Amino acid sequence: MANALLVAGLVVLGLVGIQLSLQIATGTAHLRFLRTHRRLAHREWQTRIAIAEARLADTKTQAQEWRGFRKFEVRKKVFENPAKDICSFYLYPHDGKSLPRFSPGQFLLCQVEVTNPGESSLNLGEAEARCYSLSDAPNYENYRVTVRRLSPPQGTEDLPGGVVSNYFHDRIKEGSLIDIEAPSGDFYLETAKDTPVVLIGGGVGVTPILSMMNSLAAVASARETWIFYGLRSGEDAVMLDAFERAAALPNTHVVWSYSGSIPEAFADRKDTPNTVLHRKGRVDMDCLKEILPSNHFDFYFCGPAPMMAALEKGLGEWGVPERFIHYEAFAPESSESDTALSAASETLEVRFDAENKMIAWSGEKSIFAMARKNNFNTKRIRYACRQGKCKSCLTAVKSGTVAYPHVQPEGGVEDGYCLPCICVPATALELDA
């Protein structure tokens, strides 16, 4: 009898246990479901906010964009790296009005009066303009650009350093005024999207990537993001804190890759999947294939020419469709070596009317390259990007036609004008320059 009662008791206890376990399991599953649901809802809201912000930005951009140059005051100048050859300039509109937002990745055309330009044959006049990428997230009050002081290329130390970058470093102070055109450029991150992205910056080419990265951090983005920063050594490293902030985002991974030595401060650091990973080597296809889970990303990159060429080719070979490959070059593909690219089928005459000068084109990459080869400068043709992006060199064609065999002008060119930095004569040519 006692045994039967014991068995019955055990059976009851067993049944209660099973029911309790079932309830706990159901409860846990329910909790998990609620958490996932909340996370998805949060993510959806973040996406909606980002889309709304992007639309608002578009509206404000249309409303406040300006034409031509506008005066900006440098209110803060900050050296960013231990070597002190990379410096940020915080720019505030002199008229005190608010600014149009920009898309992260775009650049400003900055013009300065170079009073002591040295002997550079690249210097075509006193007012010199160059493109500088916006290096921070958009806001309505100020812009930031980050400029690397450019030395003469290796092996040509007798040449002068870069005119405008050195001018920025040496002469532009807090309180200086600079002429600036409204943000432009078609290399930018679409912040209204939620698709996975890879952002790659090499050397000072990290500036547009910083803007993209900070824009994602500003909206606490949950977008899957992989950020690669390629640099030679700790001497080149800029804005570590911005990378740390990005690494704290839920779906963001940051990789610092040193082609030289890893700074001592990071040598013993334990990397975790989501925190900054310090590795040795270049950011190349081997690096991407080793670290990325797949090739299903939009890739954005900017850096030294060899890195860019290798990535563009390598990503294509890895099966990444062209529309997912986005990049910005800070300089033309090769420095316009003054040699002719190919033998021209005929020699064409280019007449610079205002200067009363005639030069024969014989296959050089552009009219700009042809002028440099012949040591000819005309103050009528200014240049900044030398890649058909900024229209600084826009020149009226008085007679004849041009062709764009290597690079197409960004946004086209009005009839009757040409961009000498990328065009070549298609017939004998007369320019208002």
Ligand X SMILES: Cc1cc2nc3c(=O)[nH]c(=O)nc-3n(C[C@H](O)[C@H](O)[C@H](O)COP(=O)(O)OP(=O)(O)OC[C@H]3O[C@@H](n4cnc5c(N)ncnc54)[C@H](O)[C@@H]3O)c2cc1C
- The answer to whether residues 393 and 366 touch, using CB atoms and an 8 Å cutoff, is no
Alpha-carbon span 235 to 239, nearest angstrom: 12
Token digits for 113?
A: 């009066």
- Closest approach of ligand FES to the CB of residue 392, in Å: 4
**What are residue 23's phi and psi, to 5 degrees?**
-65, -40
User: In angstroms, what is the C-alpha Rg of the chain?
Assistant: 28
Q: CA of 309: how far to CAs of 131, 134, 267, 334, in Å? A: 21, 23, 30, 11
Among 421, 423, 424, 429, binds ligand FES (CB under 6 A): 421
Alpha-carbon span 223 to 212, nearest angstrom: 12
- Closest approach of ligand FES to the CB of residue 122, in Å: 12
Alpha-carbon span 243 to 294, nearest angstrom: 22
Binding to ligand FES by residue 150, rule CB under 6 A?
Answer: no
Q: Which stretch binds ligand X (CB under 6 A): 3-11, 116-124, 192-200, 251-259?
A: 116-124
Among 101, 130, 282, 326, binds ligand X (CB under 6 A): 130
Q: In what order do the strands lie in the sheet with 86-93?
A: 127-133, 107-113, 177-180, 70-79, 86-93, 143-148
Q: Residue 419: name its binding partner from ligand X, ligand FES, none (Cβ under 5 to 8 Å by kind).
A: ligand FES
Q: Residue 383: name its binding partner from ligand FES, ligand X, none (Cβ under 5 to 8 Å by kind).
A: ligand FES
Residues forming a β-bridge with 418: 395
Q: Residue 152: name its binding partner from ligand X, ligand FES, none (Cβ under 5 to 8 Å by kind).
A: ligand X
Alpha-carbon span 207 to 218, nearest angstrom: 16
Alpha-carbon span 262 to 285, nearest angstrom: 20
Q: Which of residues 3 and 334 has its CB atom nearest to ligand X in the complex?
A: 334
Among 47, 120, 251, 275, binds ligand X (CB under 6 A): 120
Token digits for 161?
A: 């350093």
Q: In what order do the strands lie in the sheet with 395-399?
A: 357-361, 348-352, 429-431, 395-399, 417-418
- Closest approach of ligand FES to the CB of residue 112, in Å: 16
Q: Which of residues 110 and 421 has its CB atom nearest to ligand FES in the complex?
A: 421
> For ligand FES, what does the binding mask look like between residues 368 and 397, x meaning CB under 6 A?
---------------xxxx-xxxxxx----
Among 83, 122, 305, 394, binds ligand X (CB under 6 A): 122
Q: Cβ–Cβ contacts within 10 Å for residue 417, how many?
A: 17
Place of tokens 């916006």: 134
Q: Residue 392: name its binding partner from ligand X, ligand FES, none (Cβ under 5 to 8 Å by kind).
A: ligand FES
Residues in region 140-159 near ligand X by CB under 6 A? 145-148, 150, 152-153, 159
Specify the pairing of strand 107-113 against strand 177-180: antiparallel
Q: Residue 283: name its binding partner from ligand X, ligand FES, none (Cβ under 5 to 8 Å by kind).
A: none
Q: Which stretch binds ligand X (CB under 6 A): 12-20, 163-171, 319-327, 347-355?
A: 163-171
Q: Residue 391: name its binding partner from ligand X, ligand FES, none (Cβ under 5 to 8 Å by kind).
A: ligand FES
**Contacting residues toward ligand X, per CB under 6 A:** 107, 120-122, 130-133, 145-148, 150, 152-153, 159-166, 185, 204, 207, 328, 330-331, 385, 387, 389
Binding site for ligand FES (CB under 6 A): 383-386, 388-393, 419, 421
